[in-house]
Amino acid sequence: GIQVEQSPPDLILQEGANSTLRCNFSDSVNNLQWFHQNPWGQLINLFYIPSGTKQNGRLSATTVATERYSLLYISSSQTTDSGVYFCAVKLMDSNYQLIWGAGTKLIIKP
Amino acid sequence: EAGVVQSPRYKIIEKKQPVAFWCNPISGHNTLYWYRQNLGQGPELLIRYENEEAVDDSQLPKDRFSAERLKGVDSTLKIQPAELGDSAVYLCASSPYNTEAFFGQGTRLTVV
């Protein structure tokens, strides 16, 4: 089955730093989402980005579908950015199930 | 616009007892999902509904888990009887025609 790999698994940064999170997938997809799970467990939609580039404030994402990866950029990190970032994809010919990566745990220190 | 609403937020029960979770999806979203998330892992799909029809329940442990989505809106997930290994966060999500999924706050279940 499809493999979704996220890197790095853990990341510790000082407030104000920038970071890049990566999601690699092993097959063609027609849906890719980035989520932030905050320390209270809430899964928050960041981007719905099967291809191309999107920006929302300090966050931006780029998906290169032909090369099977997506990147999430966080600039000027704040402590509220702490949590786990998940990438989830759907295959083009699947039963529409989201396949999840293992997540990147991000800790922003004040 | 209100997001996906789940209740209760927390539940502690003794093993062998029944438990039920409720979900109200975003208005107009015809696709509804129930997921289970164990600590340190990504969510695992239990069941997906398109309107009132369960179109994917292959990962639902049917001996003890059941779900319904009457009238294609609200949904209930039930466990009877609960086991210690059922302790997890149960997440409900909805999407318009199985596209971008939006999640509720989840129900944290502890079975003692």
3-state DSSP call for residue A79? helix
| A100 touches B at CB < 8 Å | yes
pLDDT of residue A93: 61
| A97 touches B at CB < 8 Å | yes
pLDDT-based confidence at residue A41 (cuts at 50, 70, 90): confident
pLDDT of residue A59: 98
Q: In sequence order, which residues have a C-beta less than 8 Å from that of residue A66 and are 6 or more positions away?
A: none
| A96 touches B at CB < 8 Å | yes
pLDDT of residue B1: 65
Partner residue facing A43 (CB), from B48, B98, B103: B103
Q: How close A45 gets to chain B, by Cα (Å)?
A: 7
Q: How close B103 gets to chain A, by Cα (Å)?
A: 6
pLDDT of A94 strictly over 60: no
pLDDT-based confidence at residue B71 (cuts at 50, 70, 90): confident
pLDDT mean over B59-69: 95
pLDDT of residue A22: 98
pLDDT mean over B30-43: 93
pLDDT mean over A35-47: 92
pLDDT of B73 strictly over 60: yes
3-state DSSP call for residue B72? helix
pLDDT of residue A28: 86
| A14 touches B at CB < 8 Å | no
Q: Give the residue carrying structure tokens 């340190």.
A: B40
pLDDT of residue A40: 83
pLDDT-based confidence at residue A96 (cuts at 50, 70, 90): low
